[in-house]
Structure 1
Amino acid sequence: MLKQIVDHVNEKYGVKAQYSFAVSLGQAYCQNGSPRKGLPSKKELENMTKALNQEDGLYDPDDGRIVAARVKYLNAVAREHSEWRLLHSDQNQKSPVQKLLARTYGQNSCLIFFTFNSPCVGTCLRENGPYNIVDMVNDAFHPISKRYKAFVFQQIYQKDPMPQDLLDAWHRLHNVPLYRCDNNGCRDCSKNDPNIKPCLDRR
């Protein structure tokens, strides 16, 4: 069901740019696609699209099952990546993902985090970098059963380094299965073996 869930949001309501979303659903829907009432409503998804179509778009409502963000450009060279914007919190405010989990997540829930491009090595996965998301991802997903969580990307970020460097960086995401979902289906990219090659294809 992972591909169906991602496609339902991304193909119908996503934007043609780098963006990310996190969606909290019932386990029954994540397992077999029913009941459909477990999905975010059409109105909710339309509001998400409207927010993402704005410059520096952020969809962080007070209710509902989904949050989303685009990249925020701070100046000519600095930017907050969409993944970081959804996962970052400070002492005064919870992150959009933390707020989503607080209002929706229970023992019968699943959580899917989607980002259009793979998490980049130079910013998102850079050790000790100011916008590193590794600890935030691990913290957010740690309490959730492995069967009911996924971190999903659609394509490889084109500016990232050679595949092994990329794979080594990805493997610092310990508490969530990493998948690539595209026209060829969904593939588990968490492992380090010869079958990982389709995950690294830059097509």
Structure 2
Amino acid sequence: MRHMILAALCMWSCIMTVTPLLTEEQIGRATNYIQQHLTKDFNYQYSYFVKFTEEECNRGLTYDILHKALKGENADTIYQQVDDYHIYEGKRMVVSSYDTFEKSNKKHTLHPEYRLLNPDFHSPISRLLTDGLFAGCSIFYTFFSPCTSKCSLPDGNYNIIDKLSTIVGLPKDRVFIFKQVYQRDTKQPSMVVWDSWKSLNNYIRLLRCSENNCVQCFKNDIPQYHCYTGSQQSKTLDF
């Protein structure tokens, strides 16, 4: 009997080790560290995707772990690349701003989340996850929440949900973070926004983070309204 109990405990320990669960505190610490040290010069809509190893995730993404994991990324290079509308591709993270193009004499905008996921199977995120260290957990961050008209619109031409499903090596322990609710969506009926967000949350856990404070947008499929309410960015881009 004792051997069976020990075996069961070992199996439980192994499961816990293989499938870490990022907490709000750890996510907040990571996003705050990146903002303080790598993306502090951005004052417009941008997105990044960052990966950490299984060991780093299991050890809680402490300040020391974040420093060692991200020491190869350079804030100046990130800013120069992204400010020129290029996509920064590092060893642990990829970063993008929005970009514009003209089609049929009309100006269109590619949102940064979409740019990091395009094209299918060979996107910057795909390359990051298939090169170098294996990802144990990951954080996908965007300053403004994924808009209901494009990024989180199910079956839309530019939706990121379908794009995420093409990513090889996307870890089970993954989260999607935003800081401010996209201004146009604050004028939408709230349930339109929540339904759109839920479609994304069903595939990747959605949180809102400000500084080092993070809150989940859904708990047991129930919307957490403080994720939607709160102060908004007064100056927004016209997407």
Question: Does TM, normalized by the shorter one, top 0.5?
Answer: yes
Gaps of 5+ in 2: 1-25, 232-239
TM-score relative to the length of structure 2: 0.72
**Paired residues, number:** 194
Q: In terms of Rg, which structure is larger? A: 2
2:98 partner letter:
V
Q: CA RMSD in A?
A: 2.4
Gaps of 5+ in 1: none
Q: What is the identity percentage for the equivalent residue pairs of Structure 1 and Structure 2?
A: 26
1:179–1:187 Cα contact (<8 Å) kept: yes
CA distance in 1, matches of 2:55, 2:75: 20
CA distance in 2, matches of 1:141, 1:150: 16
* Cα distance change of structure 1 residues 105 and 138 upon mapping to structure 2, 3 Å threshold: farther
CA distance in 1, matches of 2:205, 2:169: 11
1:186 partner letter:
C
Instruction: Using the TM superposition, give the Cα deviation of residue 136 of structure 1 relative to its aligned residue in structure 2, in angstroms.
Output: 1.6
TM-score relative to the length of structure 1: 0.84
1:151–1:179 Cα contact (<8 Å) kept: yes
1:20–1:68 Cα contact (<8 Å) kept: yes
* Cα distance change of structure 1 residues 172 and 150 upon mapping to structure 2, 3 Å threshold: same
1:26–1:38 Cα contact (<8 Å) kept: no
Q: Where does 1:18-33 land on structure 2 (aligned, <5 Å)? A: 18-30=45-57, 31-33=60-62
CA distance in 2, matches of 1:58, 1:131: 18
* Cα distance change of structure 1 residues 37 and 12 upon mapping to structure 2, 3 Å threshold: closer
Question: Secondary structure in 1 aligned to 2:74?
Answer: helix
Query: What is the aligned partner in structure 1 of residue 207 from structure 2?
Result: 179
Instruction: Using the TM superposition, give the Cα deviation of residue 114 of structure 1 relative to its aligned residue in structure 2, in angstroms.
Output: 0.4
Instruction: Using the TM superposition, give the Cα deviation of residue 89 of structure 1 relative to its aligned residue in structure 2, in angstroms.
Output: 1.4
CA distance in 1, matches of 2:192, 2:37: 33
Instruction: Using the TM superposition, give the Cα deviation of residue 188 of structure 1 relative to its aligned residue in structure 2, in angstroms.
Output: 0.7
Query: What is the aligned partner in structure 1 of residue 38 from structure 2?
Result: 13
1:14-34, CA deviations, whole angstroms, 9 ceiling, x for partnerless residues? 211000000111233332415
* Cα distance change of structure 1 residues 35 and 183 upon mapping to structure 2, 3 Å threshold: closer
Instruction: Using the TM superposition, give the Cα deviation of residue 12 of structure 1 relative to its aligned residue in structure 2, in angstroms.
Output: 3.2
Structure 1 ranges of 4+ moved more than 4 A? none
Query: What is the aligned partner in structure 2 of residue 103 from structure 1?
Result: 131
1:81-113, CA deviations, whole angstroms, 9 ceiling, x for partnerless residues? 0000001114xx70000000001452x621111
Question: Secondary structure in 1 aligned to 2:95?
Answer: strand
* Cα distance change of structure 1 residues 103 and 16 upon mapping to structure 2, 3 Å threshold: same
